[in-house]
């Protein structure tokens, strides 16, 4: 039977937005456990230490708190600092079974986020965070961490919050943590996903989170975000194809996970725009009004959607997707990455679908590339007379 700490590790690595990036109980020096959970989303690395410590009840509240704080937080902090030293020299993650995982970013490029999850406090002790000697450490209890992951439910949204919190701490602004992490989150979201920086100290209302959730702007955002989960479904769908090895690629066949991770880096707001665009594209393609579409994400990635009739052979669909992605790169010279997703046109009565993928990462675009692209575009007619449209989207829609 798992204890709460083990259950937490299992859930984070299997059921949350961190699952694609997380490793449970990875190994470190001499194959010893490095930490409880390691999340790698280059260049960011999140190191988790999780402990379940019950609060003693000696009758002396201060003594009980100090004892709990030492075992639940300070010991976890030391484990994280030790893991960080190892990560600076390691070439890749080592899974629990000893097999290699993802490559680690160069030590100079690593951005380490240190997270302690302290279970067992039962609201009887205050949760403190800060620098425990070798860098800032976030400290969550089970309640606050659950709220954070439910609200910041993409890897990018979560990391951005951690970074903002670290930055305000390092700036010297005092943020007495007396009212719960969720209230700090409410301040962050209500301030445009940043913390106020023109103050010496910030005090938190203990009911700020509940007040924020009741705002009409927040409710409208949640309603508008529903379509964004179309993008999550596409990621999950493609993920199953990657696991089964059933994907077909227009270029290198080992890029399934790379494409998947790039798509999963899109934050919730970007996913709303991408989900809306993809649904509209599928609808129009089923009506034979469009065959392909380019969509630039706020992240800077350009996506190419292609839908062909079921009778078209996959090899021809992949060739067209690859060509369209190359043309899309030339038509958007300020971007570096293009991802192509091809599937069948939706047709009532015909079930099932397949995916073909294409990935282009080309930081430098030369005049020769542009001339080649123009020649191919003229010959193929792809995106030759494309119509560009602009759409404005507010994260918190007005009435």
Q: What is the pLDDT of residues 362-383, one digit of tens each?
A: 999 999 999 999 999 999 999 9
Identify whether 49 is part of a domain: yes
Are residues 50 and 186 both part of a single domain?
Answer: yes
Q: What is the pLDDT of residue 19?
A: 86
Identify whether 385 is part of a domain: no
214, 238, 264 — which closes off a domain?
A: 214
Identify whether 395 is part of a domain: no
When the pLDDT of each residue in the chain is averaged and rounded to a whole number, the result is 87
C-beta of residue 22 within 8 angstroms of C-beta of residue 39: yes
Are residues 186 and 230 both part of a single domain?
Answer: no
Are residues 123 and 201 both part of a single domain?
Answer: yes
Question: What predicted TM-score, i.e. pTM, was given to this entire model?
Answer: 0.91
Identify whether 387 is part of a domain: no
Identify whether 113 is part of a domain: yes
Strand partners, 22: 39
Q: Which residue has the higher pLDDT, 175 or 138?
A: 138
Are residues 281 and 138 both part of a single domain?
Answer: no
Identify whether 130 is part of a domain: yes
Q: What is the pLDDT of residue 138?
A: 93
Q: What is the mean pLDDT of residues 238-250?
A: 67
Identify whether 324 is part of a domain: yes
Q: How far is CA 21 from CA 38, 154, 295, in A?
A: 8, 11, 26
Are residues 192 and 316 both part of a single domain?
Answer: no
Per the structure block, which two tokens stand in for 155? 């890897």
Q: What is the mean pLDDT of residues 260-288?
A: 94
pLDDT in tens, 144-162: 888 999 999 999 999 999 9
C-beta of residue 115 within 8 angstroms of C-beta of residue 57: no
Identify whether 386 is part of a domain: no
Least confident range from 64-68, 253-257, 273-277: namely 253-257
User: What is the C-alpha separation between 383 and 6, in angstroms, rounded?
Assistant: 52
Look at the chain and report how many structural domains it folds into.
2
Q: Which residue has the higher pLDDT, 246 or 36?
A: 36
**Does the pLDDT of residue 190 top 50, yes or no?**
yes
| Range(s) of the domain holding residue 36 | 4-214
Are residues 133 and 189 both part of a single domain?
Answer: yes
Are residues 63 and 205 both part of a single domain?
Answer: yes
Bridge-based pairing of strands 111-119 and 44-52 is: parallel
Q: What is the mean pLDDT of residues 347-351?
A: 71
């Amino acid at each position: 039977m798992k204890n709460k700490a083990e259950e937490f590790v299992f859930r984070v690595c299997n059921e949350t937005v961190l699952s694609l990036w997380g490793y449970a109980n990875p190994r470190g020096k001499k194959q010893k456990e490095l930490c409880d959970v390691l999340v790698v989303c280059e260049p960011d690395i999140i190191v988790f230490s999780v402990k379940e410590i019950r609060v003693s009840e000696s009758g002396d509240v201060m003594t009980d708190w100090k004892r709990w704080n030492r075992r639940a937080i300070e010991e976890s902090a030391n484990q994280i600092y030790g893991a960080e030293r190892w990560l600076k020299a390691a070439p890749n993650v080592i899974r629990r079974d000893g097999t290699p995982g993802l490559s680690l970013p160069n030590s100079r490029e690593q951005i380490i986020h240190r997270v302690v999850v302290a279970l067992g406090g039962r609201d009887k002790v205050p949760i403190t965070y800060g620098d425990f000697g070798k860098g800032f450490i976030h400290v969550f209890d089970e309640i606050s961490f659950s709220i954070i992951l439910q609200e910041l439910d993409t890897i990018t949204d979560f990391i951005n919050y951690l970074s903002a919190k670290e930055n305000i701490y390092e700036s010297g602004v005092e943020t007495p943590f007396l009212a719960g992490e969720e209230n700090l989150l409410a301040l962050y979201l209500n301030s445009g996903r940043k913390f106020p920086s023109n103050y010496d100290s910030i005090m938190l209302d203990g009911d700020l989170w509940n007040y924020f959730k009741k705002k009409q702007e927040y409710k409208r955002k949640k309603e508008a975000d529903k379509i964004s989960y179309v993008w999550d479904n596409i990621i999950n769908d493609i993920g199953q194809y990657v696991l089964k090895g059933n994907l077909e690629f227009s270029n290198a066949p080992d890029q399934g996970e790379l494409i998947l991770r790039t798509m999963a880096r899109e934050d919730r707001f970007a996913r709303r725009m991408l989900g809306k665009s993809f649904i509209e594209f599928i609808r129009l393609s089923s009506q034979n009004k469009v065959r392909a579409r380019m969509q630039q994400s706020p992240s800077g990635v350009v996506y190419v959607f292609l839908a062909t009739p079921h009778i078209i052979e996959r090899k021809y669909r992949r060739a067209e997707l690859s060509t369209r992605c190359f043309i899309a790169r030339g038509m958007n010279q300020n971007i570096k990455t293009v991802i192509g997703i091809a599937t069948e046109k939706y047709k009532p009565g015909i079930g099932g679908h397949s995916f073909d993928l294409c990935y282009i990462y080309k930081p430098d675009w030369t005049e020769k590339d542009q001339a080649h692209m123009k020649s191919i575009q003229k010959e193929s007619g792809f995106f030759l007379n494309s119509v560009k449209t602009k759409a404005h989207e507010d994260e918190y829609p007005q009435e």
